[in-house]
Structure 1
Amino acid sequence: MSAPPRTAALVVNAKSRKGQAAFRDACRLLRDQGIVLASAEAVDDPRHLPDAVKAAVAGAPPMVIVGGGDGSISSSVDHVVGTDTVFAMLPLGTANSFARTLGIPLDIAGAVGVIARGRVRPIDLGVIDGDYFANCAAIGISPLIAETVPHGLKKWLGRPGYLAWAALQMTRFRPFRLTVDGETIDALEVRIANGRFHGGAELVDTRVDNGEIVVQAVVGTARAKLLWSWGLTLLGPDKARGTVREFRGRAFRIETDPPLPISIDGEVLCRTPVMARVAPRAIRMVVPA
């Protein structure tokens, strides 16, 4: 592992929950820590964030810092794969699951401290049908929530509002049949995990440097079983082990009956069937020392 670069491009999703207020603070704190900002951009429309990151990386900065939620991070990592640019993050979203996975502080000052004094190491990414993602994809109620959550709810009410909306969507949710590499089971929810956290809760026992992807299914047909599994995860992923089935490896073909949408770090981007795999040591990232 090596020390982080001292020059960076900064791109912040100004529509993330903390984005507008965080941009100026991030610029000031980074400069106070001796980080030279070759460029700094606040993106008002999240749809333009990937293009802004792509343009920043095209300038070959030693490091690119992306501020936003899990969706912002996942939509950005594609543009760092295969480059010499180090990736760093400021967690500005609702759940900040990838930051939790890596142990990055959730406050701006703490995250900037990691960028200034942390270490650079290679980490794995997940890949679904050629699309890289950072932390976790999901099938089941998570895409249903992501497709229907009212605009601005997460920004103004944060995790409590998001959880309340999730409870409401449970009334529309239906179990499904899941097939992983030819084996079929009844499922209530599926996580395709590179990281340990999903929705801000620790759900999967894994690491971002172990060269494997984890397909974790909450098994059964009764919605109460899903609620029970969620409750057990509050005590830790090992407590919910009896409610889930896990497949661990480098690549899996995943099918569902009926075909279902997949949310990738909170954004609905594809539908089953898909190929999911791990991309070992895909990018170099700044993590806590």
Structure 2
Amino acid sequence: MALLVRSGPVTEAVTEPISASRALPRSAVLVVNAKSRKGRKLFRRAVQGLRAAGVEIIAAHAIRKPKLLAPTIKQAVESGAPMVIVGGGDGSLSSSVDYFVGNDCVFALLPLGTANSFARTMGVPLDLEGAIEVIATGQRRRIDLGMIDGDYFANCAAIGISPLIAETVPHGFKAWAGRVGYLSWAMLMMFRFKPFKLTVGEGDTAETIDALEVRIANGPYHGGTELVDDAAVDSGEIVVQAVVGRAIPYLGWSWLTSILRLPARRHTTREFHGKALRVVTDPPLAISIDGEVLAKTPVMARVAQGVIEVAAPAS
């Protein structure tokens, strides 16, 4: 398979070569969640494309049983592979990052899900050929991870409607309906949703507000939409962003202004920044971590600064 070549006007430019210390490994283990939206269909294309791009595939695994994904990635990292490529949606990627912490192994990704928020944050193209090109020609980038208590996550955790969607969306619906269907289901779930009290911080610095949704962000994207403008994977801080208020339609307005990138979006939210922030809700609520419901408030949200290296586009 040939790499995708994007044509355009010829301009003079000076390209700085990637130093050996920042260059990506030329061999890797590939692990693809074949239950993800595109995983099974694109697995063989991924193997062929990576080899054609000059990346040696030490081993390739198409995982059809979700419970086998994590142990397969753990084994690949612990085997001493210089790079492990994970193909799947945000949930698959986020459940993988724990195994790279403290290991000299580069984390690379093939975005094969619905929202692909982490790929958007990293600037990785959403098409298979573009993502392969990053792995073949990109560079190492050391990034932060978020933490909910002791659990690492890649991009964003959420309280409010996101866990409700994750708990109620019919099996296979995202794979069939895609991102548009996912957003439509989100609009439907708003009628079942109730606002809540949010407290951020501890002691004298704690602040309580009325909230409609909360995003605990290590990166700007959530649900495939850029919502937390000031969050970044190398900022050294975690951002807790709340959509403020008690009127449910206001949540829809907040999402709409964010999707359309209107200046009004900043007037719908309140942000808290820090290295560690305690998050409490009344009543206690579920937390979805990159699309998977894995925790419940109260929790401590933290940043783990510069703990993994990721395959990123060349600067």
Q: 1:76: Cα distance to partner?
A: 0.2
| Partners of 1:180 and 1:47 in 2: CA distance | 34
Structure 2 partner of 1:183: 207
Q: 1:163: Cα distance to partner?
A: 1.4
Structure 1 partner of 2:131: 111
SS at match of 1:84: coil
Greater shift, 235-244 or 167-176, is seen at 235-244
Q: 1:31: Cα distance to partner?
A: 0.3
- 1:18 equivalent to 2:38? Answer yes
Equivalent runs, 1:60-139 vs 2, <5 Å = 60-139=80-159
Partner AA of 2:261 in structure 1: G
| Partners of 1:280 and 1:37 in 2: CA distance | 30
Partner AA of 2:228 in structure 1: V
Closer/same/farther in 2, CA of residues 237 and 128 from structure 1, 3 Å limit: farther
SS at match of 1:73: helix
Structure 2 partner of 1:236: 261
| Partners of 1:64 and 1:234 in 2: CA distance | 33
Partner AA of 1:33 in structure 2: A
Q: Deviations over 1:25-80 (max 9, x none)?
A: 00000000111111110000122211110011110100000000000000000001
Equivalent runs, 1:1-289 vs 2, <5 Å = 2-181=22-201, 182-205=206-229, 206-236=231-261, 238-289=263-314
SS at match of 1:221: coil
User: How many residues are matched?
Assistant: 289
Structure 2 gaps of 5+ residues are 1-20
* Greater Rg by CA: 2
Q: 1:237: Cα distance to partner?
A: 7.4
Q: 1:239: Cα distance to partner?
A: 3.7
SS at match of 1:78: helix
Q: Deviations over 1:99-141 (max 9, x none)?
A: 0011100011100000000110100100001100000000000
Structure 1 gaps of 5+ residues are none
- The list of structure 1 runs, each at least 4 consecutive aligned residues, that deviate by more than 2 angstroms after superposition, is 235-239
Q: 1:236: Cα distance to partner?
A: 2.4
| Partners of 1:260 and 1:79 in 2: CA distance | 27
Q: 1:245: Cα distance to partner?
A: 0.3
Structure 1 partner of 2:11: none
Query: What is the aligned-residue RMSD (CA, Å)?
Result: 0.9
Percentage identity across aligned positions?
65
| Partners of 1:104 and 1:254 in 2: CA distance | 31
Normalised by the length of structure 1, the TM-score is 0.98
Q: 1:157: Cα distance to partner?
A: 1.0
Greater shift, 160-169 or 57-66, is seen at 160-169
Q: Do the aligned partners of 1:137 and 1:191 also contact (CA within 8 Å) in 2? A: yes
Q: 1:235: Cα distance to partner?
A: 2.7
Partner AA of 1:190 in structure 2: V
Closer/same/farther in 2, CA of residues 203 and 134 from structure 1, 3 Å limit: same
Closer/same/farther in 2, CA of residues 257 and 237 from structure 1, 3 Å limit: farther
Q: 1:238: Cα distance to partner?
A: 5.0
Closer/same/farther in 2, CA of residues 237 and 195 from structure 1, 3 Å limit: farther
Partner AA of 1:96 in structure 2: N
